[in-house]
């Protein structure tokens, strides 16, 4: 038995193990193709993925998902989405049945996990978010599902997929190891006055070795967010519009929990009409957690009309009094902001505000060319000794 090899050379390692151990594959049909049933297509999609190494949803086909997709623990599977998968916005159903993700009280339509997973094909994942955004306006306790959760996956590649109108976050990588996203387009667009909310492009949580490259994102919240215990992450060649930027955190939200974000490399980012550009955010206050942020590089950012192009915020979601009394327990070290150019919408174009007593160390700023078109650009910093050729822009730095 032979699997069709992908035209993309870099996919070969994913499937090399399949080719080498072809005899371990299920004896079932190698290739299954789905057709729309007219009703809930989740059962046939689940059956196909259990039985067939390759499952295709052809270009002319839209399958409708009305019940949750548990595709965990797969091995050597290729889902080829050329058509469309649409998640039916049956809010009462999903309210009781979406999979619960304990972190930040999230839920999801789809858990996809296991070993050697390829999800590609140029097709569309449609979260049917409009109904959710419209309902959220009158019910802000509505739990809106994450569109796709890569869950406990080892060796997963999501390639050439268009994701539209997620009700909430588009992608969560939860407890993953070696997960790659390439050539993804993300877009959340409302046709009513109720705008998309919390439409993060990616959140990474308790995962190691994650790559996100060559993608275009139009959303209203974090473009990419490195949540607790994201390590060895590479993000490169993203074009983000309308977002809250590329963020480490928020970290330290939960008392008694230790959060680590380490070895993150972010390069070649276009950031337009955004709330933030490159950001590190940590909670402070009386009842929060602790942790470390270490070895993070933000490099080659071109920012256009960004409210806060460069940010360290150690008082995230914390008022001034509480932040001064209970400084953040997140220690931030070895951070590089390199080659950051473009325009801010506010006078302060870079704001590196650390909690006192050495919470921030070895913070490097190089090759900044930021302007504030309506006036003079200002740089603020607090409780940090900056290194690099842009450090003088910030001095003097206030100490609290």
Ligand X SMILES: *[C@@H]1O[C@H](CO)[C@@H](O)[C@H](O)[C@H]1NC(C)=O
Which residues contact ligand X by CB under 6 A? 95, 122, 139, 141-143, 160, 162, 183, 185, 206, 228-229, 232, 257-260, 263, 265, 268, 285-286, 295, 300, 302, 319, 321-322, 339, 358, 383-385
* Min dist. Cβ of residue 337 to ligand X (A): 12
As given in the structure block, the two tokens for residue 347 are 């006078």
Q: Which is nearer to ligand X, 263 or 380 (CB)?
A: 263
Q: Which is nearer to ligand X, 194 or 300 (CB)?
A: 300
* Min dist. Cβ of residue 361 to ligand X (A): 6
As given in the structure block, the two tokens for residue 51 are 């039985």
Residues 227, 260: contact at Cβ < 8 Å?
no
* Min dist. Cβ of residue 110 to ligand X (A): 18
Whole-angstrom distance, CA of residue 269 vs CA of residue 236: 7
Q: Which of 201, 210, 154 is closest to 180 using CA atoms?
A: 210
Q: What is the DSSP string of 145-199?
A: EESEEEEEEEEEEEEEEEEE--SS-SEEEES-EEEEEEEEEEE---SSSS---S-
Q: Which is nearer to ligand X, 44 or 385 (CB)?
A: 385
Choose, from 159, 178, 218, 244, the residue flagged as catalytic. Answer: 244
Q: Which is nearer to ligand X, 126 or 259 (CB)?
A: 259
Q: Which is nearer to ligand X, 44 or 333 (CB)?
A: 333
Q: Which is nearer to ligand X, 23 or 140 (CB)?
A: 140
**Half-sphere exposure for 188 (CA within 13 Å, toward CB):** 31
Active site annotation includes 244: yes
Q: Which residues pair with 174 in a beta bridge?
A: 151, 205
Whether residue 55 has a cis bond before it, omega within 30° of 0 = no
Q: Which is nearer to ligand X, 70 or 214 (CB)?
A: 214
Q: Are strands 148-164 and 171-174 parallel, antiparallel or unpaired?
A: parallel
* Measured CA distances, 399 to 10, 178, 181, 339, 377 (Å): 49, 41, 41, 26, 21
* Min dist. Cβ of residue 319 to ligand X (A): 4
Q: Can you tell me whether residue 14 is helix, strand or coil?
A: helix
What does the chain come to in residues?
400
Whole-angstrom distance, CA of residue 49 vs CA of residue 77: 7
- Burial label for 319, CB within 10 Å (0-12, 13-18, 19+), is exposed
* Min dist. Cβ of residue 206 to ligand X (A): 5
* Min dist. Cβ of residue 21 to ligand X (A): 28
Q: Which residues are part of the catalytic machinery?
A: 244
């Amino acid at each position: 038995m032979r699997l069709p090899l992908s035209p993309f050379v870099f996919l070969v390692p994913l499937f090399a193990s399949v080719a080498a151990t072809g005899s371990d594959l299920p004896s079932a049909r190698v290739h299954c193709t789905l057709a729309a049933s007219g009703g809930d297509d989740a059962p046939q999609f689940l059956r196909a993925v259990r039985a067939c190494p390759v499952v295709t949803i052809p270009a002319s086909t839209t399958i409708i998902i009305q019940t949750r997709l548990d595709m965990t623990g797969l091995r050597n599977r290729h889902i080829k989405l050329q058509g469309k998968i649409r998640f039916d916005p049956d809010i009462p159903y999903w309210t009781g049945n979406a999979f619960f993700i304990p972190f930040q009280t999230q839920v999801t339509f789809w858990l996809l996990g296991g070993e050697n997973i390829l999800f590609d094909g140029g097709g569309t994942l449609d979260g049917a978010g409009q109904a959710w955004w419209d309902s959220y306006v009158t019910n802000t306790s509505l739990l809106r599902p994450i569109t796709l959760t890569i869950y406990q996956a080892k060796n997963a590649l999501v390639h050439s997929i268009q994701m539209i109108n997620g009700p909430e976050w588009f992608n969560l990588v939860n407890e993953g190891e070696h997960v790659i996203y390439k050539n993804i387009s993300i877009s959340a667009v409302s046709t009513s006055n109720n705008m998309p909310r919390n439409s993060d492009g990616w959140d990474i949580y308790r995962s190691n070795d994650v790559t996100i490259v060559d993608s275009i994102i139009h959303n209203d919240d974090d473009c990419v967010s490195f949540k607790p215990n994201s390590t060895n992450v590479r993000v490169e060649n993203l074009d983000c519009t309308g977002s809250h930027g590329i963020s480490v955190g928020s970290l330290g939200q939960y008392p008694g929990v230790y959060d680590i974000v380490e070895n993150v490399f972010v390069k070649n980012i276009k950031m337009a009409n955004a709330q933030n550009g490159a950001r590190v955010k940590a909670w402070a206050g009386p009842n929060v957690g602790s942790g470390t942020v270490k070895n993070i590089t933000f490099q080659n950012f071109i920012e256009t009309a960004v409210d806060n192009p460069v940010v360290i915020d150690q008082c995230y979601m914390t008022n001034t009094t509480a932040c001064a009394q209970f400084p953040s327990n997140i220690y931030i070290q070895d951070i590089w902001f390199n080659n950051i150019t473009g325009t801010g919408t506010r006078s302060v174009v870079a704001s590196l505000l650390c909690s006192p007593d050495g919470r921030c160390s070895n913070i490097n700023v190089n090759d900044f060319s930021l302007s504030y078109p309506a006036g003079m650009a200002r740089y603020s910093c607090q409780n940090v000794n900056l290194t690099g050729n842009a450090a003088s822009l910030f001095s003097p730095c206030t100490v609290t």
